[in-house]
Amino acid sequence: MNKAIVVGSINMDIVAFVQDHPKTGETIFGREVKYFPGGKGSNQAVSCKRLGSETLMIGRLGDDAFGGQLLAFQQQQGIDISGVRQLENTATGAAFITVADSADNSIVVVPGANALWDDGFIDELTIEQGDIVLAQFEIPDTVIEKTFNKAKAVGAMTILNPTPVRTINADIRNSTDLIVVNEHELAALSGREIDVHKDDTIFNGAARLHQEDYGTIIVTLGDKGARLVQAGQKHAIAARPVSAVDTTGAGDTFIGGIAAGLLSGLDLIRACELANIAASISVTREGAAASIPSLDEVNKLLRKRGHM
Ligand code: ATP
């Protein structure tokens, strides 16, 4: 059976709930602190697994207490953690988030072990024809290049989620089959103004990336759903109307849904429909990884909508 292989970041998200954000030099009391397993790589791996695919995580943790907790968390999800290493005398990646009563947040991400990889991992990694390899931009380019090149050499598919957005180098671009971006990343990569209320601006921006050999493009648009551009075809997927309470991790849920859907034999449009429903459920719940639904929950809704 083919699997999803996620090469990416693993973080501990430390969230302090405060009335107002502290000003420079100020010390304030917070109301509550919560610890959430996070990192785009880890979230996408959880999504792949919950939505039905065998999943291998490739990542780097520190040898501190968070490292042990995050490894245990991934194992509890049923993710194959044989590609995760704990580096000696290194801090695990962490995101320090303050959430104010106004719901605004401010975030400091310290990559820690996520930025420290040596080349050895690529020799140990087995990728098979038909597997799907996913990467995001919270880890070094060289790691993505090596993994995607190996994936393409054996006939696996590659999905890139270039966030936080930076230039996509030619080596990564040439070995990417599908990229998934939101409207801000699309604007940054295409150099075009994107108006989420105007489909032509989205399709034109995506078509521009498609012409420049970025592969197939999926643009996620929050409560406006998603748009797909592949080999001259355009397709719109409307969002399922819901009352959103926390959209953190919606994009990660969506991407895991695409990989899991494709691995189960769906075509790309059907996989996007599954991903869209999964992500719409995730925004009705708090947290990132914690909010990702199971395949059963998604299938029930797909059946109701006549998609199965
Ligand atoms: P994040 O960085 O928070 O994960 P993102 O910008 O990468 O988010 P979005 O485009 O906000 O991702 O959302 C991804 C998908 O989640 C959307 O394409 C849609 O399917 C679903 N979604 C997000 N927000 C809503 C919403 N309010 N109602 C219904 N579906 C939603």
Q: DSSP readout, 225-251?
A: -EEEEETTEEEEEPPPP---S--TTHH
For residue 248, the ligand 1 atom closest to its alpha carbon is 3
**Ligand 1 lined by 251 (C-beta under 6 Å):** yes
HSE of 223 in the Cβ direction (CA atoms, 13 Å)?
Answer: 9
**Ligand 1 lined by 220 (C-beta under 6 Å):** yes
- Whether residue 29 lies inside any domain: the answer is no
Among 99-103, 157-161, 300-304, where is mean pLDDT lowest?
Answer: 99-103
- Whether residue 31 lies inside any domain: the answer is no
Q: Tell me, letter by letter, the H, E, C secondary structure of 1-15.
A: CCEEEEECCCEEEEE
**Ligand 1 lined by 285 (C-beta under 6 Å):** no
Mean pLDDT of the 131-143 span: 97
Q: Whose CA is nearest to atom 26 of ligand 1?
A: 223
The structural domain count of the chain equals 1
Whole-number pLDDT of residue 213 = 78
How many secondary structure helices (H) and strands (E) does the chain include? 10, 13
The answer, yes or no, to whether residue 135 has pLDDT greater than 90, is yes
Contact criterion met (CB below 8 Å) for 40 and 122: no
What does the block give as tokens for 163? 């966030």
What distance in angstroms lies between residue 87's CA and the mean position of ligand 1's atoms? 33
- Whether residue 19 lies inside any domain: the answer is no
What distance in angstroms lies between residue 113's CA and the mean position of ligand 1's atoms? 28
For residue 226, the ligand 1 atom closest to its alpha carbon is 18
The answer, yes or no, to whether residue 119 has pLDDT greater than 90, is no
What distance in angstroms lies between residue 91's CA and the mean position of ligand 1's atoms? 30
For residue 221, the ligand 1 atom closest to its alpha carbon is 10
CATH number at 203 reads 3.40.1190.20
**Ligand 1 lined by 287 (C-beta under 6 Å):** no
Find the domain containing 165 and state its range.
3-10+39-90+114-304
Q: What is the pLDDT of residues 66-106, one digit of tens each?
A: 999 999 999 999 999 999 999 999 999 999 999 888 878 88
The catalytic site residues sit at 252
Whole-number pLDDT of residue 214 = 82
Annotated binding residue 306: no
Q: Whose CA is nearest to atom 27 of ligand 1?
A: 223
Of the candidates 298, 206, 223, 283, the residue with the CA atom closest to the CA atom of residue 252: 283
- Whether residue 209 lies inside any domain: the answer is yes
What distance in angstroms lies between residue 90's CA and the mean position of ligand 1's atoms? 33
Mean predicted lDDT score pLDDT of the chain: 94
Whole-number pLDDT of residue 234 = 92
Annotated binding residue 282: yes
- Whether residue 151 lies inside any domain: the answer is yes
Q: Whose CA is nearest to atom 17 of ligand 1?
A: 222
Whole-number pLDDT of residue 59 = 97
Whole-number pLDDT of residue 287 = 82
ipTM, two decimals, is 0.98
Pocket-testing residue among 36, 247, 285, 302, ligand 1, by greatest number of atoms within 8 A of Cβ: 247
**Ligand 1 lined by 239 (C-beta under 6 Å):** yes
Contact criterion met (CB below 8 Å) for 236 and 276: no
The answer, yes or no, to whether residue 112 has pLDDT greater than 90, is yes
Whole-number pLDDT of residue 209 = 86
- Whether residue 207 lies inside any domain: the answer is yes
What distance in angstroms lies between residue 183's CA and the mean position of ligand 1's atoms? 11
- Pick 211 or 283 by higher pLDDT: 283
Whole-number pLDDT of residue 22 = 93
CA distance 53 to 65: 29
- Whether residue 20 lies inside any domain: the answer is no
Q: What is the pLDDT of residues 251-272, one digit of tens each?
A: 999 999 999 999 999 999 999 9
The answer, yes or no, to whether residue 307 has pLDDT greater than 80, is no
- Pick 119 or 45 by higher pLDDT: 45
CA distance 228 to 218: 5
Q: What is the pLDDT of residues 183-238, one digit of tens each?
A: 999 999 999 999 999 999 999 999 888 888 788 999 999 999 999 998 878 999 99
Whole-number pLDDT of residue 191 = 92
